[in-house]
Amino acid sequence: MYVAAAVAASPPRRDFISVTLSPEEAVGAGGYNNSKARRRRSCWRKWKQLSRLQRSIILFLFAALTVCGVISYTSVGEPWKSLTNKSADERGTEPDAPGLKLANPAVLPAPQKADANAGDYPELSPQKKPKLLHGRRNPSNFQIKPPWGDVRQQTRHDTSKAVEEPAQADKQGKTEKSVISWRGAVIEPDQSSEPPSSRIKEPEKPLSVESESQKEPVPINERQMAVVEAFRHAWKGYKDFAWGHDELKPLSKSYSEWFGLGLTLIDALDTMWILGLREEFEEARKWVANDLAFDKNVDVNLFESTIRILGGLLSTYHLSGDSLFLEKAKDIGNRLMPAFKTPSKIPYSDVNIGRGTAHPPRWTSDSTVAEVTSIQLEFRELSRLTGDEKYQKAVDEVMKHVHTLSGKNDGLVPMFINTNSGQFTHLGVYTLGARADSYYEYLLKQWIQGGKTENELLEDYMRAIEGVKKHLLQRSQPKKLTFVGELAHGHFSAKMDHLVCFLPGTLALGAHNGLTADHMKLAEALIETCYQMYAQVETGLSPEIVHFNLHAQNGHKDVEIKPADRHNLLRPETVESLFYMYRFTGDKKYQDWGWEILQNFNKYTRVPTGGYTSINNVQNPINPEPRDKMESFFLGETLKYMFLLFSDDIDLINLDKYVFNTEAHPLPIWVPA
């Protein structure tokens, strides 16, 4: 092709210049075209013109740059991703984030629907607002899956790794309601227009929690692993020598019966769940399903059966979601109801669960005040789950009756009440120890369970604590330990049961729920005393009862122990209060104190062939005189509270969502209407 260009010249003559282009530079008989195809051909021609060495160097440099780019993206991208995820989680905790109230959803999963994936149990994330779901009570092909996994697998990991600290759980918002004032204490409880019993219209299904993103389980630490090992050792003795019976006798490798209902096994069900002992739990579940029968001609104690059996079954139902435990709870609950058929509606102490009859103890027509006023949490929860008012109505009548009785001393109650007249007996004796202790505990815990709506319970509790301060508090010598004594017809006794060591934890729980701050100060003083009841004893284990010295004497400690009181039954009360104090204060000295107690249990009460035994003499490290009995509450309470004490995971039984009964079985806090 030829392209001509005119060159200016003087007219009339014209000159021309002719330019010839090669065919390969021409573009399809048209003009010049800077197309992508042309550029690719040009670059390829230049690439081919390079020597092999030059091409190799360029390829090497390109590969090196690519690798560097990937490494840079990884190092910068992951922190950025974590930051953005954290920001998203934090946004989910803002007050106006969508979600329901968190007054009482269960921390662990409740029943799933029948078509749910077997074994799929989402755990509560502390960063997210949970959704409340209604689950089926009878899931088909239900599989038990403890939320913390099988501890056997966790032992393969480094248990010395620090425990992650989850974010603080959302607290229940306060509402503007009427104010209760009790001697300087101002409380603003959530109120309701009607009592909880009248709100039960249809069966309540347990609340389940489904988090938006599944929370990674907090790894258990070395101290928790030591508790797991202690539980396994105790469980081995029970399984080998007392399976299906009430209590293990570890020295004689046999068992003892109280009711013949497998008390130790039932008491330990929710402990196994919380500790993540999957195999042991499933084995125990099979016994409950196949062998636990309440149709027996046997007398049982109303109080002990309620807190251990009914409470244990209800708690396990809530934690596992397995309807088997609810059905068993309904069965025993119905069989205990004849106890309330008395002239005064104050229940008898004993019930024949096979015949459906009840009676007082053979030596008296009285019941103890603690027994008749410490069954409410369990029966109220049974009404909520079944929709049947009769259980809650029966126990609420007892509390309303006791609320109006005379014979109290600034809120302190006598130890006995007559089932015929409904009046207090043995007037003038006041204690926070045996026969009265859990009355005070359940005043507060019922108020918390019901959503802080029942003001009479709170008033009685606040009045009673003031009575304790006025009549029962003293300080010992030489360390000036604050302790709770007893009052008998105006005479003060410096005697304190180990059972009273429930009180620091209860006071701390009340303070955590908005009661006066001086309750926490008193709790801190009392838990120091309870610890000294261990530390000042030769074995490092507390006796059943101590007497405090009120006057300084050379060579005398604060604590004095009488020969009849120096036994130790593996009781949980001090460990229970240590758990509450650590959960609410974060002071690790409470964990250290609990660790000392566990080590001394291992040193003086552990039986090599399996199990632990109560001992007769805490003052003799050489021969503590083992009693050959392991109480069911050692597995149901003591080791459970130990495990929780050593955990830094506040969502491992969150105390804003659960309330423990007096046998350490957690029950959900109700959502206010």
Phi and psi for 390 in degrees, rounded to 5?
Answer: -60, -35
Residue 522: closest CA among 570, 470, 477, 562: 470
Contacts of 587 (CB under 8 A, 6+ apart): 581
CB contact at 8 A, 121 and 318: no
Encoding tokens for residue 496?
A: 């304190």
Query: Per-residue b/e over 553-585, b at no fewer than 16 CB within 10 Å?
Result: eeeebbbbbeeebbbbbbbbbbbbbbbbbbbbe
Q: Percentage helix, strand, coil, to 5, in the chain?
A: 45, 15, 45
* Ligand-binding site membership of 662 (annotated): yes
DSSP type of residue 500: G
- Beta-bridge mates of residue 429: 488
Tell the residue number behind the tokens 């244990």, with chain if given: 312
**631-634 long-range CB contacts below 8 Å, 24 or more apart?**
631/247, 631/569, 631/570, 631/571, 632/246, 632/247, 632/263, 632/264, 632/267, 632/268, 632/308, 633/267, 633/308, 633/570, 633/571, 633/572, 633/663, 633/664, 634/234, 634/570, 634/572
Closest to 329 (Cα-Cα) out of 315, 313, 318, 317: 313
Tell me the two tokens of residue 327: 């059905």
The two counts, helices (H) then strands (E), for the chain are 20, 24
Distance separating alpha carbons of residues 630 and 644, to the nearest angstrom: 21
**CA-to-CA distance for 352 and 333, rounded, in angstroms?**
13
Positive or negative torsion for Cα 565, 445, 414, 312: negative
Cis peptide bond N-terminal to 139, omega within 30: no
**Helix (H) or strand (E) run with residue 545 in it:** strand 545-548
Burial track 370-383 (b if 16+ CB lie within 10 A, e otherwise): bbbbbbbbbbbbbb
Q: Alpha-carbon distance 356 to 336, whole Å?
A: 8
Closest CA to 134 of 155, 105, 161, 163: 105
CA-to-CA distance for 316 and 312, rounded, in angstroms? 6
In angstroms, the Cα distances linking 668 to 112, 291, 378, 508, 546 are: 17, 28, 11, 19, 35
d(CA 316, CA 93): 29
Distances (CA, A) of 268 to 255, 333, 335, 524, 639: 16, 19, 22, 29, 10
Cα 26 from chain centre: 85
> What's the sign of the alpha-carbon dihedral 88, 90, 91, 92?
positive
User: Burial letters for 395-408: b for 16+ Cβ neighbours within 10 Å, e otherwise?
Assistant: bbbbbebbeeeeeb
Residues labelled catalytic: 304, 437, 544, 573
3-class secondary structure, 509: helix
Q: Which residue, chain included where needed, has tokens 């258990």?
A: 220
Counting every residue written for the chain, the total comes to 673
Which residues are known binding-site members for Ca(2+)? 662
Which residues are known binding-site members? 662
